[in-house]
Amino acid sequence: MRTSTLLILDDDTQDANIIAHEAQSLGFEVRILADASLFIDAFLAWKPTHLAIDIVMPSINGIEILKTLAQLDCQSAIILSSGIGTDTLPAAQLAAIEHNLNIRGILYQPFHQHILRNLLTDQVSVDLHAHTSSDMSAQSFIVDAATIDDAIRNDQFTLFYQPQIELLSGKVIGFEGLLRWKHPTLGIKLPELFIPVAEKTGQIDQLTQIVIETGFNFIRSLSKTLSFSLNISAKSIKNHLLTNALVNASQSLEVAPERIILELTETATMHDPEEAQQILSQLRTEGFKLSIDDFGTGYSSMAQLAKLPFTELKIDKSFVTTMETSSKSRKVVASTLKLAESLGLETIAEGVENTLAAIGLRELGCRYAQGYYFARPMDQATANTWLTQWNNQF
């Protein structure tokens, strides 16, 4: 496998060294140039896998450099930055995308380690590799009522948090809590491994209670303007105790119900629509918000959508991740956004993995988004640190 290489063009030695240090810690071979006149020759001679370009330097026109790279059929992943203001960056990014350059993203000042690291690494590939390795190690691992019960007793279930971002402002508007099993020997296990079993064994309500208590404790420590989204199983929708559990947690932990968004898949309401409508209406009466998750992957009718008291529609990542290459996916997203607007629903897209997806969603009128482009799911301590660093940009 070819070693990752990074060519940096930046006349600010401190900025260049920050980028270089982080890249080297990730195993990159790095070269730094402060003279723009040498950049294209260095690029042609070295053909680096990555480029980091300060597009606002006294001696260069950043847009012209990007055009030259496009003419040279540059395949490098490109990170754009600027040490003197940020107004030029979005325009440069759009120009680069129009020229079919592989723009990894924008690096705003002050530089933050986690953002720089995300831009330098292919988080999607890393995550898929980790998932595959995890699956291989789990082949001999049996998940049943006994192992789940043991994990509950030993506090092995926890939440990871993924931020949700307002696309226009870039500000954090909330977090989604994602349940994980921290197995002592097999590492982090995703819910696909244990949720179906818990639904069959009747342990899903115990896991839901863990999500409620853990998530509410997390969100209560943050600004009251931030929301918390949690996934609700189809099995739990049938349980009238769900409302009591949510109301009790809201009152005892002093978390306003209006800050809580309950995410349900389309199919969760299909088995018994009348019962679902009754329970969901009760939850809305208490003040909780309701999001229809993975929209477009189920079989809900427009009439059903209009009848149930949803407040938010979540666009499935299968459409978001293919928007760039599939005109059909883009049309599905566009029509979904129009549908949500006609029904008075907020919209959030999941699975945003790059700048182009974020820009495309914003152009189509999507208000909120989440995905690896902004941040991967994090444990609570990491999420707190990430939030502080992110907010320092605004």
The sign of the CA dihedral 373, 374, 378, 382 is: positive
Q: What is the mean pLDDT of the chain?
A: 85
String of b and e for 45-74 (b: at least 16 CB within 10 Å)?
Answer: eeebbbbbbbbbbeebebeebbbebeeeeb
Backbone angles phi, psi at 355, to 5 degrees: -60, -40
Per-residue pLDDT, averaged over 133-139, amounts to 42
What are the residues facing 183 on neighbouring strands? 187
Band of pLDDT at residue 156, cut at 50, 70 and 90: very high
What is the chain's alpha carbon radius of gyration, rounded to the nearest angstrom? 23
Residue type at position 179: L
The structural architecture, per CATH, of the domain 5-120 is 3-Layer(aba) Sandwich (3.40)
Q: Whose structure tokens read 């244990």?
A: 194
**pLDDT digits 0-9 by tens, 252-290:** 999 999 999 999 876 666 666 777 788 889 999 999 999
Q: Is the pLDDT of residue 127 over 60?
A: no
Residue 341 vs residue 122, higher pLDDT: 341
Lowest mean pLDDT among 66-70, 308-312, 375-379, 390-394: 390-394
The structural architecture, per CATH, of the domain 123-391 is Alpha-Beta Barrel (3.20)
Band of pLDDT at residue 96, cut at 50, 70 and 90: confident
Q: Is the pLDDT of residue 132 over 60?
A: no
Q: Where exactly are the structural domains of the chain? A: 5-120, 123-391
What pLDDT is attached to residue 135? 44
Same fold, 5-120 and 123-391: no
Most confident stretch, 2-16, 86-100, 131-145, 162-176: 162-176
What pLDDT is attached to residue 140? 47
